[in-house]
Amino acid sequence: MAQQIADRRDVDFVLHEQLDVAQFSANEKFEEFNRKTIDLVVSEARNLAIKEILPTQKIADEEGCRFENGQVTVPEPFHRLYDLFCEGEWLATSEDPQWGGQGMPRTVAMACADYFNGANYAFMMYPGLTHGAGKLVEAFGTDEQKKLFLKNMFTGKWTGTMLLTEPGAGSDVGALETTAVKNEDGTYSISGNKIFISSGEHDLVENIIHPVLARIEGAPAGTKGISLFIVPKIWVNPDGSLGEPNDVVCTGIEEKMGIHGNSTCSLTLGGKGKCRGLLLGEENKGMRAMFLMMNEARLLVGMQGFCCSSASYLNALDYARQRLQGKNLLQMMDKSAPSVPIIQHPDVRRMLLTMKAYVSGMRSLLYYVGFCEDMKHLTDDEAMADKYQGLIEVLTPIAKGYVTDRAFDLCNLGMQVYGGYGYIREYPQEQLMRDCRITQIYEGTNGIQAMDLLGRKLGMKKGKPVMDLFGEIQAVIAQAKKVESLQAAAEKVEKALNKLGEIAMHMGATAMSPKVLAAFAHAYPFMEVSGDVVMAWMLLWRAVVADEKIKTAKKKDQDFYDGQFKQLDFFVQSILPTTLGKIEAIRNTCEAAIEISDEAFGGK
C-alpha cells in the first residue's frame, strides 16, 4: 500500500481556484510565474518529495542520529538527499535570486513545502532552519555579513540554526545566562550553554551558522537586554575562507519520541574561552530581531504538523478503501453477505470526514498566510501592506497553535482508522503521530501561542488587525448568502463569528481587569474557538468557489466540488455547535484554576 503525502487536486484548488496565485504574474516581481510555470514548479517539488524524500522517512526514523566524540552523524540517506535538494535550489524558493533564491511567490513556496514536509519533515528541518537563519542575516546583517554568509546559507552550502533555549530558562528567554563580551577587534566573546537545538550539529555540511541570543555585560535584565549574534561553527575569515573551529561544542543529542532523523543538540559555547561572535543588528535589540525568525518558524511548525495530518488522512483513506472487514450495516442479518471495505462503515466515514474537513481548512489557512505575505510585498499602498501584515500576525498563533493541535488529533484518528495495524511500525501512522507531537511544543508551546493571541494580537493597533480579519470573514459570508444552497451554512458561520466578536471583547476587557489571571486561564480555549471560526471561514470560502466551478466542471471534478459542500455541512452542523458551547464556557470566566491552592492539586 503506497504511502501518501498531499492531494494534488486539493493543492491546485487552493492555489488556482481559491487564491488565484497566477494573478501575481501581472506584477513585474513575479511575471515569470504564470499558471503553467507554477504547475511545473509544484510538479517538480512533488516528484522530488515522492521519489527521493519519502523513501527516507522510515529509514531515518529507525536509524536516527548518532553522537560520538562530539560529532553528530545524520541518517546515511540524508547526504545524497541534501545534495539533491540544494542542486534543485529548493532551500530559498521565495528569496532573491541574487542570494541563491528562486524568487517565487511565497504562496507557491507553501505548496512545495506541503509536499516536502509531508514526505519527511525531520529532514526538512535542516534546510528549514537554515532559511530562517538566513532571513535574519538578510534583514539585520551588514553588507559585509550578507556577503560572507547569505548566499552560502540560501544555497545550502552552509546550514543554520536558532540558539535560544537554555537549561534554566526554557521558554522564559529573558532569563538566559549566555554572555557576550566585546573584544578590541569588534567581535564578541560568547559563553554559555544552549539546549534543544534542532540541527545544532551534524555532518551534512562543512559549516553551521548559529544565530545566538546572549546578554552583553552591563545590559538591562530581561528581554530588553538581549542581543543577537552570528556564531559560526567554523570561523569565517573576511575573504570568505574558513578559519579555525570556533569553540562551539556539541555535548550530546536528545533521544526523542519522534523526528529521529533530526539532531536535537546540547551546545556549549566558549567552554575553552575561544568562542567568537559578530553582533547581528543593534545591541539589546536581539529579541525584536529574533521574532522575525520565530514567526517564520511558527508558520513552518504549523506546516509540519499539518503535513503529518494530511499524510495520515490520505493513508487512512486509502486503507479504508482497501481493508475488507465486517458486513455492510444494512446487511448484518444476511449470513451470505460479503465483507466490505471499512469505508462503508458509518463511524469510519465520520472519522474520515472529520479529517478531510480539517485538512482542507488547514491547507487553505496556511496558504492564505503565504498569500498575505505576497500581497504585502506587491502592493504600493502602505495602508494595505499594513493590513496584510496585521492579518499575518493575528493568524500566526492560530496557524501554529490551533493547527498543530488539530493535526495531532487527526493523526490520532488516522491511527484509529487502521485499528491495531495503526499502532505497529509496519505502517506509517504511528510515526506520523509521534513526529507530529513535538509541533505542539516547540517554537513556543501552544499555551504560549494562546497567550500571544490574547495578550498581544487581540489589542494590537487598537484592535484593527482583528477587525480586518473579521471583515475578510464577513466578506465571504456575504458572498455565500447569495448562493441559495449555502445560505444556511453562511448564517451559522455568521452567528459563530458574531459570538467570537463578543467573547473577544469580553476577554480583552477581562485581561485588563483584576481578573487578568482568570482571563489567561481561558486564553487556550479562546484560541480554540478562534481557530474553529477561521476553519469555518475557509471551508465556506471553498464552498463558494466550488459552487461557481461545479456549474461547468467536467465529470471527474464533480465529486471533488461536492466534497467541498459536504465537509462544510459537516463542520457547521457537527463542530460549530460545540464551538458555541465553548464560547459560553469562556464567558463564564471560571476562576477555579486560579483559586485552587497548590496543595489542593494533591499528589503527595
184 in the same domain as 262 = yes
Check: CB of residue 287 under 8 Å from CB of residue 213: yes
Does one domain contain both 15 and 112? Answer: yes
Any domain includes 107: yes
pLDDT at 1: 63
Residues 258 and 316 in one domain: no
Give the residue ranges of the chain where pLDDT is below 70: 1, 169-174
Instruction: Name the nearest CA neighbour of 214 among 146, 125, 290.
Output: 290
**Integer Cα distance of 554 and 136 in angstroms:** 47
Q: What is the pLDDT of residues 270-329, one digit of tens each?
A: 999 999 999 999 999 998 887 777 788 899 999 999 999 999 999 999 999 999 999 999
Residues 130 and 170 in one domain: no
Assign residue 216 the CATH number of its domain.
Answer: 2.40.110.20
- Is residue 597 a part of any domain in this protein? no
C-alpha cell read off for 507: 476577554
Domain with 98 in it:
8-65+73-154
Answer yes or no: do 359 and 270 share one domain.
Answer: no
DSSP 481-524: HTSGGGHHHHHHHHHHHHHHHHHHHHHHHHHTSTTHHHHHHTHH
The reply to whether 148 falls in a domain is yes
Same domain membership, residue 376 and residue 236: no
For residues 181 and 127, membership in a common domain is answered with no
Residue type, 326: G
pLDDT tens column, 520-555: 999 999 999 999 999 999 999 999 999 999 989 988
Give the pLDDT score at 170. Answer: 63
Residue among 138, 443, 494, 528 flagged as catalytic: 443
User: Which three cell numbers mark 100?
Assistant: 541563491
Residue 345 domain-assigned (yes or no): yes
Closest by CA to 155, choosing from 91, 98, 202, 200, is 91
State residue 171's pLDDT score: 64
Regarding whether 303 and 280 lie in a shared domain, the answer is: no
* CATH number of the structural domain spanning residue 15: 1.10.540.10
CA-nearest of 154, 161, 133, 137 to 269 is: 161
Question: 293 and 283 in one domain?
Answer: no
Residue type, 347: D
Give yes or no: residues 453 and 419 share one domain: yes
Q: What angle do CA 473, 476, 480 make, to 5 degrees?
A: 135
Distances (CA, A) of 523 to 449, 460, 506, 577: 9, 16, 12, 20
Cβ contact 267:201 at 8 Å: yes
Does 498 fall in a domain?
Answer: yes
Angstrom distance (rounded) from CA 161 to CA 126: 8
pLDDT of residue 176: 85
Catalytic residue list contains 443: yes
- The verdict on 228 and 324 lying in the same domain is no
pLDDT at residue 360, as a whole number: 98
Bridge partners of 118, per DSSP, are none
> Which one, of 512, 433, 492, lies nearest residue 258 by Cα?
433
Question: How much is the pLDDT for 156?
Answer: 97
Domain contains 336:
yes
In a domain, 3, yes or no: no
Phi, psi of 444 (to 5 degrees): 95, 110
Looking at residue 601, the DSSP 8-state letter turns out to be G
Cell of 448: 504560549
Which of 334, 94, 286, 270 is closest to 176 using CA atoms? 286
Q: Is residue 201 within 8 Å of residue 265, measured between CB atoms? A: yes
Number of domains in the chain: 3
604 within some domain: no
Q: Are residues 522 and 494 in the same domain?
A: yes
Question: 269 pairs with which residues across the strands?
Answer: 192, 248
Domain C-terminal end among 133, 154, 175: 154
**The pTM is what?**
0.96
